[in-house]
A and B are shown apart, each in its own frame.
Chain A
Amino acid sequence: MNPVGAAEIRRLLDVVGTRIIESRDLLTDLDRTIGDGDHGVNMARGFAAVREKLAALPENTDIASLLKTAGMTLVSTVGGASGPLYGTAFIYAAQELAGAGEMSPELLSRAMRAAANGIVKRGRAGVGDKTMLDTVEPVAAFLESSDSGGSSPEERMRDVRRIARAGMESTVPMQARKGRASFLGERSIGHCDPGAMSSHIMIEAALDVLAASSGETRP
């Protein structure tokens, strides 16, 4: 991964928003199965608002301000639990990037760790509870593992892609222990968690933008 500037982060957030909006029905269907069915609509509304807010920011807005604005906008527009959860994730990530002109791999790792910790703090969830954390935490842990094992940045990004997908899929056999889905008990088993799916969609979209900006073709 090459260092990434504010223009790439802006594009990244735009693509993340597009993918979430395109995935509205998928997220709604997943949430209708084990939740209250509002995840797709809430997230699509939130990211539509994020796009509007970001478009109104001056061109020279730095990375931290872009992410913080995205987080604050999600807090005010999503409505369900994912508002404060993703809002906290973006706001905490932004704090790690304060003053940075570029996002190095080191800063990306710190930002993801802060985002995962924010979700843990806000949701009091742990890995295995069948939540968005099951997608986000393994990615954060991988990014901060300093030993790259001799792999190239492109290989590491492909590993992130694989880990995010595996994390999302890991929620299928889990029994929910958080949120409305936990009321279903064993009946929550066998369905992907909608939050784990939206996190996967966001991470995959981000990787696509980062891969494109470093000249790598999308697999």
Chain B
Amino acid sequence: MIAFVLVSHSRAVAAGVREMALQMTGGVVPVIACGGMSDGGLGTDACVIADAIRSLAQNEGVLVLCDLGSAILSAEQALDFLEENEKSGVRIADAPFLEGAVLGAIQASAGSSLQEVFETAEGARDLRKLG
């Protein structure tokens, strides 16, 4: 199963998107929310993201989704912190945060590969909501 790390500046946003992804997939997809700083303030922390990715190592792969700006910087820095063998099955998607997480998780719940899950998450960018 492909697992997810959700990186948001806000603890509430990361937790809320995780809740939606879990609800849509019956809770079978591992999702870790990395939101906010340890003091509860807004921000992203590359060390926390790296630890989350490491803790998901027993899965077939990990897809990282980020909200805005420096969340991407922190996610990329987290990959820098990981050893080659720890990051071989990890990808950062350039996807809308909520839509990418929910659609990606649904794809993952079908037992899809990291590449398929990655493409679905990135494809969420083209999701139309009005007809």
* Partner-B contacts on A (CB < 8 A): 38, 42, 72, 75-81, 83-85, 87-88, 122-123, 179-180
User: With A and B bound together, what is the CA distance between A178 and B38 in angstroms?
Assistant: 27
In the A-B complex, the 6 residue pairs with the smallest Cβ-Cβ separation, listed nearest first, are A79-B43, A81-B70, A84-B73, A84-B77, A75-B46, A76-B47
Query: Do the beta carbons of B45 and A79 come within 8 Å of each other?
Result: yes
> Given known contacts A76-B45, A87-B77, is B37 in contact with A81 (CB within 8 Å)?
no
How distant is B12 from chain A, measured CB to nearest CB, in Å? 15
User: With A and B bound together, what is the CA distance between A88 and B47 in angstroms?
Assistant: 12
User: With A and B bound together, what is the CA distance between A21 and B77 in angstroms?
Assistant: 25
Query: Do the beta carbons of B46 and A80 come within 8 Å of each other?
Result: no
Query: Do the beta carbons of B73 and A85 come within 8 Å of each other?
Result: yes
The residue from B44, B47, B76, B77 contacting A79, defined by CB atoms under 8 A apart = B44
How distant is B110 from chain A, measured CB to nearest CB, in Å? 34
Query: Do the beta carbons of A123 and B73 come within 8 Å of each other?
Result: yes
* Partner-A contacts on B (CB < 8 A): 9, 37-38, 41-48, 69-70, 73-74, 76-77, 80
User: With A and B bound together, what is the CA distance between A78 and B77 in angstroms?
Assistant: 14
User: With A and B bound together, what is the CA distance between A123 and B47 in angstroms?
Assistant: 18
Residues of A contacting B38 in the complex (Cβ-Cβ under 8 angstroms): 76
User: With A and B bound together, what is the CA distance between A83 and B37 in angstroms?
Assistant: 11
Residues of A contacting B73 in the complex (Cβ-Cβ under 8 angstroms): 81, 83-85, 122-123
> Given known contacts A77-B37, A87-B77, A122-B76, is B69 in contact with A179 (CB within 8 Å)?
yes
24 contacts between A and B (CB under 8 A): A72-B47, A75-B46, A75-B74, A76-B45, A76-B48, A77-B37, A78-B43, A79-B37, A79-B42, A80-B43, A80-B70, A83-B43, A83-B44, A84-B46, A84-B73, A84-B76, A85-B73, A87-B46, A87-B77, A88-B77, A122-B76, A122-B77, A179-B69, A180-B69
